[in-house]
Amino acid sequence: MESPLNWQRDSNGYRVQPIRPVASASNTILGNLTGFRIVPGGGRAIVYRPRLDRLFVQFANVSTMTELLKFVNRYGLLTRTWDERHRGENVELALDSAQNMKRLVDSLTGGSIPKLSEPGVVARLEVVLSTNGLQFRAPNLLSALWLHAGTAAAGGSQLRQCAYPACRKVFEVGPNSRPRRRGDAKYCCHQHQERHKSLKRSLP
Ligand SMILES: [Zn+2]
């Protein structure tokens, strides 16, 4: 399945900022009072087409604000278009979504199928009839990630968690995996296989 998404990231990168309360004229406090948001550095838009195929696996491995910032620096904001970018990405909501993605990915590694709700994420999904059959268009990066994760789940992708205890990252195995990993692979990379071996050797 193809999922065309032209997305943007800021040429100056992104930074984390505390969310400040917004007071209206009547002095009512609006919005989320606590937490952080990720805002763009005010550069120009680098328009690009994300390689979405396995990006949801990377997103599922995001569990801290630092990891989220790294992801956003690489791929842009998750839900904000270039016009909306000044409102930034709410860190708490984005990490919730990454955690939900992790639960879906865990189900693909052999766990039970979770019941997830991602409010608003695919609400504006467009289905376009083209010469290649049905095409799905996502309004933003987060929706596109969910679209691909859902397709992988429906298509029977096989995922596994790295057996190296310090890693535990999720990776894909089997004939369609990229980079290609054997169906019985236990580690995300050769390095972690070696490290785990030497770790085992050093234990009494
Ligand atoms: Zn690993």
pLDDT of the chain, 204 residues: tens digit per residue: 444 688 999 999 999 999 876 555 554 544 445 689 999 999 999 999 888 877 898 999 899 999 999 999 999 999 988 888 888 999 999 999 999 888 888 777 765 555 656 554 544 555 666 666 666 678 889 988 988 888 777 766 677 878 898 887 778 887 777 778 888 899 989 999 999 999 888 877
Residue type, 68: L
CB count in 10 Å sphere of residue 4: 13
* Cα 65 to ligand 1 centre (Å): 20
Q: Tell how far the Cα of 171 is from the centroid of ligand 1, in angstroms.
A: 9
9: nearest Cα among 31, 40, 32, 51: 40
In DSSP terms, which residues pair with 36 in a beta bridge? Answer: 18
Ligand 1 midpoint to CA 188 (Å): 4
Alpha carbon of 185 to ligand 1 centroid (Å): 11
Give the Å distance between the CA of 115 and the centre of ligand 1. 27
Q: How far is ligand 1, taken at its centre, from the CA of residue 68, in Å? A: 19
Answer yes or no: are the C-beta atoms of 63 and 98 closer than 8 Å: yes
- Distance (angstroms) between ligand 1 centre and the Cα of 122 equals 31
pTM of the model: 0.72
192 CA to middle of ligand 1, Å? 5
Spatial neighbors of 69 by CB under 8 A, at least 6 apart, are 14, 15, 16, 38
Here the tokens at position 95 are 């990490």
Pair of tokens at residue 97:
């979504």
- 141 CA from centroid of ligand 1 (Å): 25
DSSP state of 45: E
Query: At 7, is the secondary structure helix, strand, or coil?
Result: strand
Contacts of 142 (CB under 8 A, 6+ apart): 78, 79, 94, 97, 121
CA of 49 to the centre of ligand 1 (A): 27
